[in-house]
Each structure stands twice: as structure tokens, then as C-alpha cells.
């Protein structure tokens, strides 16, 4: 999935994000980019990733096509007959103005909060219509010769664009290109699309209605080599078996669960909590074992979605353990730096993929701008550039295959995580649908099989039933695949996406097929019959587990039924559920209905998540925090905090004196300041067994390690992760000893919606000379211990979840950061 980054990213990141439940190996040390792996899926959250997304929302309504008048916008009240973008920009500005040029093109988008935040959304429908007319009147040549931004990513994109094919369409107006894409055959379109730069592809979709986007989606297909994945009439699934604690048993049981519903034909792709080599290797081996046992390793790849550097290191240390390699991509050099990615690095990794399985990419509209790399142009063109980057890397994989003497058949695909960041990018279900349709067409026009993570955060105005509506609107465009989980609620990433049952419903309603080879396997497995209808074992995860046991141990003389009903099987399944991992057993009235008991439970969790988002830290709880110093950010209210993430990143001017008084009282004698913010879930802080138990354990372990911990605890209302950096600047920036290191240890609530109500700990400990530079401290020198709760603390020697053990992990990571500083 899943999963990018506003401040960080969704809890996917290339840093070594440690889970509370996984013991820290003695030799392990988190990287300086520990925040980034939480980076894509979690990082797509406008201010911070799940953990970074500290904040709440009352989900205010907003018309999807009209921009609120309170922020800057692009007004185009009238245009001349036949006027194009270049002529208009020059006339209005007196000369060509590139920034205004980018704004006019941005105004051609359907309204989205993400463009609004950049000040490039149209002020009204008239301005939007006029922007589209201007764009339609502009030639491909005029636009191609004025790239939004020139950098190494753009250079690579153009190197992978067929210059001769581009020359053939340069004289076309964009309106002509639109008509061509809507009227011509797939072969005719493919002959032209190889010459379309990514900026042009990002612009052409602005001129299309949703129905027109669907028409193009129904015309162009780019199936993966030797498969039906991405072919017309097929719609596959990436099984996303995530575990809050990276428990490999949790992971493989979710794979069995998918197979029970005849779901899973694109990739078994786990989002890890920890990006440690040992942990990633264990997950890779567990997924590989399932495939080898069922003789599917040449049909279906596996992948642990850690940073690509980590996957490469796993393969180096344990040859043959990995299959498909994953990486989140940005649209510019600066955006990719958020993921610790460069063009050179990705080209080198692509050159290492000469075998059957190549590369898997994840992207998402809005991730670039929410991480501060909007560069003045809109989310759609940013997204298109990511696909151009992927297209170029696909060519590099083909070159690697050729050089190795193999067939040039690059297995390269991507999925778009639409809706992961939150309402500061898309607030409504209509915007989510529009995004997905745009991205399907842009991906296909880049020659890529594109899947979707049609998803929502709990602080968006989108619920479980709305997601069904979104799926139905999007499916006619025939994406290559969707995510697949036991329920719509991801137990680790705390967001809503597509469940196994959704795939069953889609197959029934739209007639889409599963890849032929996997469909044959599901028939052989026995969950569907020769006609593709559910058997008595359909939806029975214990049955698939029993078949796995029999396949793995041919000498096991027990019958399948005996294994299904064995106490060890029941105990194993029960243990998975107790760790907060959902398993869909059976179904409701229809094979595509979640069983009623589990459906109610998931809906209750979503309702709890919505309530958690609105919650504040109760004064009574704050009063229990020893020597609390209360501060606040500039967010006016929850709506402001969620829709405008920067408001939660800076301490408000009238609260700064509180920090200055603390600074003066300390006189430089302490090197660690503990800070607490409610984030997106105040309950994750105040629930019994959480901060009440963790805080004293943390302080004790820090002091045992020799740290001088300030006696006060800074408690911040509406604080995001960067608010901690601001506190550090004020608290430490003026100290005389510029070479000493000082730390902010920030406890902050994560996205709600799971059983855990988890919080995370962000650690930053640079030298004073770095704190002294306003804005210098950021996520690249911060480490995070993610997903802490009474249910996920690390195990002690007695195999009990213990906040003391998790506190030790914080100290270990802090020690490592300090050594590097």
C-alpha cells in the first residue's frame, strides 16, 4: 500500500522504524532516515505520517468544485478568442512569467485541497473553465518546451521519452490530443504515448471529464509479461498482510485468508514496522515459504516494502530471499530526498534486476507538496512525473535483462495511494474518485500496469460505505489491481482501504477476472470449483492453513479436517487475533459480505477512531503529568489543524515565553527535554497503561543511561512533530556550548482506528549549533519508535509486554543518534 509523506510518510519509511513489540538487536542501530520509511503511507499525512499526523478534525464540509475565498487562488475571469496559456500569461504579466504559467495550468484542475494549499486552485468554475480552454488551445510543443521544473528527475524522464514520437505530435493542440486519445484504437494511442512527456500527460487529463477518463482507461492496457495482470477484463489484488509487530505468523495467516477468498495474484506485499535487515529478511522468508510451499514462486512474487536499500542489503546477505523490490517515488529531486532516493541510486538498483521480478513503486497525489516540495505546480503534474520516473526505471530493468542474456520482459508496476494523506489533500469522496481516475489514465499512458490503494484516513469525510461507492465509480476504468486485506481496516497503518470481500463483490458486479494462473491455483486449492463458484471451504482460513501444512509436510498423515480442527491450529489463529490482526472467517448473506460479527466490530473501531480524532487531552489527565509546562501551536481549532498542517508545526508566539522561561530556569544544565502532544489521538496518550506507565519508565531509563533529563514535561496542544523541533530551537538554540548535543524526545499520538490507540516517540538530538539555525532540524536527523501501546510494548524476559522494554529501545536509538551527531 501503503504505504509516502507529509512530514514523514504513512508508516512506511526507510529509516529503521522500530516497533514497540520487536526487541532491538544489540548490533542494530536506526539510520538517520528512521522517519522516512513511515514515509510513504504514513508520510502522506499532511504534517506527519500516521504518527506525524498529530491533529484532529471535525470534518467540515466543502464543495468539491469551488475554492474557499479565504486563501489565494487563480482568477481567470475572461480570455480572448483562441488564446492559449502562453499568450494569456504574457498578456496579463506583460512578459512570460513561469510562476504564473504554472498557476494557470494548476487552475485547470478539478478543485482539491492540496492545490488550494499551494494557492494554485481556480477561484471559481469560470476561472477553471477558462484555464481549461487556454490549455486546450496550447500546442504540445509550447508546453513541452516549458517544463514545470528542470532537475535530474525531469532529465531522466525526457531521456526515456521517444523524441521521434514527440516530434510527430508537437504541432497538435492539447484539444486535438484529447480527441485523439478518446477516438483512436489502443495501438494508435500506444504509438503516440511513448513520445508524451510526463508534464503533457499530467496536463491532458485535466481536460477530460470522469467519463472521458474512464473511456481512455477502457482502451489502454499494459499487462505484466507472461500474465494477465493489467490486461483488459482483469483486476487483481496485492495482498497487504500487515502486522502491528512484524509477527511473521500474523503475516502468513493473512495470506491464507486472502487465498481463502480466491484473492491475491499480483504480489504478497507486507508493509514492515521495522526496517532492520534481520526483521525484513524474516518477513521475506516467511512470504517466500508460502509461495514455495504452494509452488507459486514463478507465478506470484513476494515483497517486504522496506526502503530499497534495505531490500538490496537483505538480498546481498541472503541471496534469493527477495523477489520484487519496492520503493516509494517522488516527482522531483527534492521530493525523492524525503525517501532517501536519488536518480542515480534508483538507476543502480534497477540495473540489479535482471531476473523475472523487477521493481514495484508506490506514489500518491499530494505527497510532494505536503513535504514542502510543491515547487509551485499542481498535484496532478507532480504525480505524472512519478510515473515518468517509473517508466524510465522500467527501461533500465529491461536493459539489465538484455545485458544478462534474458528476455526483455520487465515486471514493473506501481500503485497509487490515493487518499492516504488526509483532508488537506482530498476532503471528499468525489475528489478521491477524480484522483483515482486521473492516475489510472496517467499510469496507462506511461505504459505501466497501475494499481490503486483506494483509501481514506479517519479524519477525511469518507467512511466505509463511501469507499464502496468510490470503488464502484472507479472500477469501469479497469485498474490493474487493488489492495486486499481481511477487512477494510489496516491493523498496522490505521487507515481504510479495500478488503478481500470487496474483490469478491467486484468480480461479481463487474465481471473482472483474476490472473489465469492464480485462478487455476485457487481451483486446485479447493476454495472455488471448476465453474469459479465458492465451495464449502470458501472463506475458511483454517482450511487453507491445513492445505499449507499438508503441502509442506507430505508425511503428515492427518486429514485436512483433522488439521483444521486441531487445537494447535485454533490456538495459532486465536493468537493472531489477540495481537490485533483481523481475520475474516466465513461471510454474511452473500459471499462478498463480511461476516456480521466482524463487520460490526470494524465499524465500531472506525466510530472510535472518529471520536478519537475529535478528542482533546482532558485537563484532569494533564494534571497527572508531573511538572507539566503547557504550550500550544497556532492552530485555531481541530479543523484548522487538520486542513492546514503548518499551523501545528510552530509554537504560537504567545506560548514561546513559556519555553523561554524554561530555558532560563534550566541554564543549560539538562540535555534531554521530554515533550508530549496529543496528535491525532488524545486517547493514545491518556489511556491507562500508555503514557502513565511509559513516561516514568522512559525517564528512569534515560537517567540510568546518563542523560540529564529536565524535570518538567512540555505538554503541547495541537502539536505536530515539527512543533518539537521548534521547541528545541527555542530551548537550546542560544546555549553557549555550540558543540554539545541536546535532545527533544517527543511522545505523540498516532492515527486512530486500530485496536491499539498507539502513540510514537520521536527523538532528535543534534548539536546546539544545529538547533540555533531556524528550520534546520527536520525529519532527516530524527528517529522514531512507532506503534507503542499497552498491547504492543516490547516483551521482557518473562515474555510479558513491558513499557520498560520499549523505553530501553528509545534509549538505544537516542544513543545511536547522539553518536552520529
Highest average pLDDT, of 45-49, 52-56, 809-813, comes from 809-813
Q: State the pLDDT at residue 70.
A: 57
Confidence of residue 754 (pLDDT cuts 50, 70, 90): confident
Confidence of residue 264 (pLDDT cuts 50, 70, 90): very high
DSSP for 241-255 reads: ---TT--HHHHHHHH
Task: Decide if pLDDT at 425 tops 70.
Answer: yes
Task: Decide if pLDDT at 85 tops 80.
Answer: yes
Report pLDDT digits (tens) over 159-213: 999 999 999 999 999 999 999 999 999 999 999 999 999 999 999 999 999 999 9
Residue 701 CA to residue 72 CA, distance in Å, equals 49
CA distances from 40 to 102, 266, 365, 432 (A): 26, 20, 11, 18
Residue range 350-370: average pLDDT? 95
Task: Decide if pLDDT at 29 tops 70.
Answer: no
Lowest average pLDDT, out of 85-99, 235-249, 631-645, goes to: 631-645
Residue 34 CA to residue 311 CA, distance in Å, equals 15
Residue 466 CA to residue 460 CA, distance in Å, equals 11
Query: Which has more pLDDT, 70 or 671?
Result: 671
Q: State the pLDDT at residue 791.
A: 87
Q: State the pLDDT at residue 41.
A: 38
Q: State the pLDDT at residue 23.
A: 30
- Looking at the chain, the whole-number percentage of residues with pLDDT higher than 90 is 79
Residue located via cell numbers 520516473: 389
Task: Decide if pLDDT at 82 tops 50.
Answer: yes
Q: State the pLDDT at residue 2.
A: 36
In 3D, which of 385, 303, 389, 307 has the Cα closest to residue 344? 389
Query: Which has more pLDDT, 359 or 31?
Result: 359
Task: Decide if pLDDT at 62 tops 70.
Answer: no
Report pLDDT digits (tens) over 472-526: 999 999 999 999 999 999 988 889 999 999 999 999 999 999 999 999 999 999 9
Count of positions (residues) in the chain: 821
Give the start-end residues of each E strand in 708-774.
709-717, 743-749, 759-764
Q: State the pLDDT at residue 275.
A: 82
Query: Which has more pLDDT, 51 or 580?
Result: 580
Taking residue 692's Cβ as centre, other Cβ atoms within 10 Å add up to 16
- Give the three-state DSSP class for 621: helix
Diameter of the chain measured on Cα atoms: 85
Residue 238 CB partners (closer than 8 Å, separation 6+): 1, 264, 266, 267, 268, 269, 415, 451, 481, 482, 483, 484
Task: Decide if pLDDT at 456 tops 50.
Answer: yes
Task: Decide if pLDDT at 462 tops 90.
Answer: no
Q: State the pLDDT at residue 51.
A: 29
Task: Decide if pLDDT at 530 tops 80.
Answer: yes
Report pLDDT digits (tens) over 692-719: 999 999 999 999 999 999 999 999 999 9
Residue range 364-384: average pLDDT? 92
Task: Decide if pLDDT at 391 tops 60.
Answer: yes
CA distances from 202 to 21, 366, 446 (A): 43, 14, 10
Q: State the pLDDT at residue 19.
A: 31
Report pLDDT digits (tens) over 145-166: 999 999 999 999 999 999 999 9
Confidence of residue 7 (pLDDT cuts 50, 70, 90): very low
Residue 620 CB partners (closer than 8 Å, separation 6+): none
Query: For 757, what's the count of Cα atoms within 13 Å in the CB-facing half-sphere?
Result: 22
First to last CA, the chain: 33
Q: State the pLDDT at residue 50.
A: 31
Task: Decide if pLDDT at 28 tops 70.
Answer: no
The predicted model scores a pTM of 0.88
Q: State the pLDDT at residue 778.
A: 87
Amino acid at each position: 500500500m501503503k504505504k509516502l509523506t507529509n512530514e514523514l510518510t504513512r508508516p512506511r519509511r526507510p529509516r529503521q522504524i522500530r516497533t514497540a513489540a520487536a526487541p532491538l538487536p544489540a548490533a542494530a542501530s536506526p539510520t538517520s532516515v528512521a522517519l522516512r520509511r513511515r514515509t510513504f503511507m504514513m508520510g502522506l499525512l499532511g504534517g506527519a505520517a500516521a504518527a506525524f499526523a498529530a491533529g484532529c478534525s471535525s470534518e467540515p464540509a466543502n464543495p468539491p468544485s469551488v475554492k474557499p475565498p479565504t486563501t489565494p487562488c487563480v482568477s481567470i475571469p475572461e480570455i480572448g478568442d483562441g488564446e492559449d496559456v502562453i499568450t494569456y500569461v504574457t498578456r496579463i504579466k506583460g512578459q512570460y512569467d513561469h510562476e504564473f504559467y504554472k498557476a494557470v495550468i494548476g487552475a485547470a484542475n478539478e478543485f482539491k485541497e492540496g492545490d488550494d494549499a499551494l494557492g494554485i486552485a481556480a477561484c471559481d468554475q469560470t476561472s477553471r473553465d477558462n484555464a481549461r480552454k487556454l490549455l486546450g488551445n496550447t500546442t504540445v510543443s509550447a508546453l513541452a518546451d516549458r517544463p514545470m521544473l528542470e532537475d535530474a528527475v525531469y532529465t531522466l524522464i525526457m531521456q526515456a521519452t521517444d523524441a521521434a514520437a514527440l516530434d510527430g505530435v508537437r504541432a497538435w493542440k492539447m484539444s486535438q490530443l484529447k480527441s485523439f486519445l478518446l477516438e483512436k484504437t489502443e495501438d494508435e494511442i500506444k504509438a503516440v504515448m511513448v513520445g508524451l512527456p510526463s508534464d503533457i500527460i499530467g496536463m491532458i487529463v485535466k481536460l477530460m471529464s470522469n467519463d472521458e477518463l474512464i473511456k481512455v482507461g477502457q482502451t489502454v492496457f499494459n499487462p505484466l509479461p507472461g500474465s494477465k495482470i493489467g490486461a483488459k477484463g482483469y483486476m487483481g489484488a496485492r495482498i497487504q498482510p500487515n502486522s502491528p509487530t512484524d509477527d511473521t505468523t500474523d503475516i502468513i495467516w493473512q495470506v491464507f485468508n486472502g487465498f481463502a477468498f480466491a484473492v491475491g495474484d499480483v504480489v504478497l506485499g507486507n508493509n514492515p514496522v521495522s526496517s532492520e535487515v534481520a526483521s525484513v529478511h524474516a518477513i521475506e522468508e516467511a512470504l517466500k515459504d508460502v509461495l514455495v510451499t504452494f509452488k507459486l514462486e514463478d507465478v506470484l512474487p513476494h515483497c517486504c516494502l522496506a526502503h530499497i536499500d534495505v531490500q538490496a542489503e537483505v538480498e546481498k546477505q541472503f541471496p534469493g530471499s527477495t523477489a520484487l523490490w519496492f520503493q516509494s517515488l517522488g516527482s522531483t529531486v527534492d521530493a525523492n530526498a524525503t525517501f532517501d532516493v536519488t536518480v542515480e541510486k534508483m538507476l543502480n538498483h534497477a540495473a540489479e534486476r535482471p531476473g523475472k521480478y523487477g521493481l514495484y513503486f508506490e506514489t500518491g497525489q499530494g505527497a510532494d507538496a505536503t513535504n514542502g516540495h510543491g515547487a509551485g505546480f499542481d498535484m496532478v503534474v507532480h504525480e505524472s512525473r512519478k510515473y515518468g520516473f517509473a517508466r524510465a526505471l522500467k527501461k533500465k530493468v529491461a536493459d539489465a535483462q538484455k545485458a544478462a542474456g534474458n528476455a526483455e520482459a520487465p515486471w514493473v508496476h506501481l500503485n497509487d495511494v490515493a487518499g492516504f494523506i488526509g483532508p488537506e489533500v482530498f476532503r471528499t469522496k468525489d475528489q478521491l474518485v477524480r484522483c483515482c481516475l486521473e492516475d489510472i489514465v496517467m499510469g496507462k499512458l506511461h505504459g505501466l500496469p497501475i494499481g490503486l490503494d483506494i483509501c481514506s484516513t479517519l479524519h477525511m469525510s469518507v467512511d466505509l460505505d463511501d469507499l464502496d461507492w468510490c470503488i464502484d465509480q472507479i472500477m469501469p476504468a479497469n485498474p490493474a489491481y487493488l489492495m486486499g486485506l481481511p477487512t477494510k481496516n489496516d491493523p498496522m497503518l490505521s487507515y481504510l482501504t479495500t478488503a478481500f470481500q470487496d474483490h469478491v463483490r467486484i468480480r461479481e458486479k463487474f465481471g473482472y477476472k483474476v490472473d489465469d494462473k492464480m485462478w487455476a491455483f485457487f481451483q486446485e486449492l479447493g476454495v472455488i470449483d471448476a465453474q469459479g463458484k465458492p465451495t464449502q471451504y470458501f472463506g475458511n482460513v483454517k482450511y487453507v492453513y491445513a492445505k499449507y501444512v499438508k503441502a509442506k509436510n507430505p508425511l503428515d498423515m492427518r486429514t485436512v479436517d483433522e488439521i483444521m480442527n486441531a487445537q494447535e491450529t485454533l490456538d495459532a489463529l486465536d493468537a493472531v487475533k489477540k495481537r490485533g490482526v483481523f481475520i475474516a472467517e466465513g461471510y454474511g448473506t452473500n459471499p462478498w459480505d463480511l461476516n456480521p460479527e466482524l463487520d460490526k466490530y470494524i465499524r465500531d473501531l472506525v466510530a472510535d477512531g472518529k471520536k478519537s480524532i475529535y478528542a482533546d487531552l482532558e485537563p484532569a489527565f494533564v494534571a497527572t503529568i508531573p511538572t507539566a509546562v503547557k504550550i500550544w501551536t497556532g492552530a485555531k481549532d481541530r479543523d484548522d489543524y487538520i486542513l492546514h498542517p503548518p499551523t501545528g508545526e510552530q509554537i504560537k508566539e504567545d506560548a514561546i515565553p513559556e519555553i523561554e522561561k524554561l530555558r532560563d530556569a534550566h541554564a543549560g544544565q539538562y540535555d534531554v527535554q521530554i515533550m508530549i502532544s496529543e496528535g491525532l489521538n488524545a486517547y493514545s496518550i491518556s489511556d491507562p497503561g500508555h503514557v502513565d506507565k511509559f513516561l516514568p519508565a522512559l525517564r528512569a531509563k534515560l537517567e540510568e543511561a546518563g542523560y540529564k533529563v529536565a524535570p518538567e514535561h512540555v505538554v503541547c496542544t495541537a502539536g505536530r512533530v515539527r512543533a518539537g523541533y521548534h521547541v528545541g530551537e527555542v530551548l537550546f538554540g542560544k546555549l553557549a556550548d555550540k558543540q554539545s548535543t541536546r535532545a527533544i524526545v517527543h511522545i505523540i499520538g498516532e492515527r486512530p482506528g486500530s485496536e491499539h490507540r498507539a502513540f510514537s516517540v520521536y527523538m532528535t538530538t543534534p548539536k546546539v549549533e544545529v538547533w540555533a539555525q531556524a528550520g534546520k532540524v527536520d525529519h532527516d536527523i530524527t528517529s522514531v519508535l512507532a506503534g507503542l501501546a499497552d498491547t504492543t510494548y516490547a516483551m521482557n524476559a518473562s515474555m510479558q509486554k513491558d513499557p520498560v522494554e520499549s523505553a530501553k529501545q528509545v534509549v538505544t536509538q537516542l544513543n545511536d543518534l547522539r553518536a552520529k551527531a
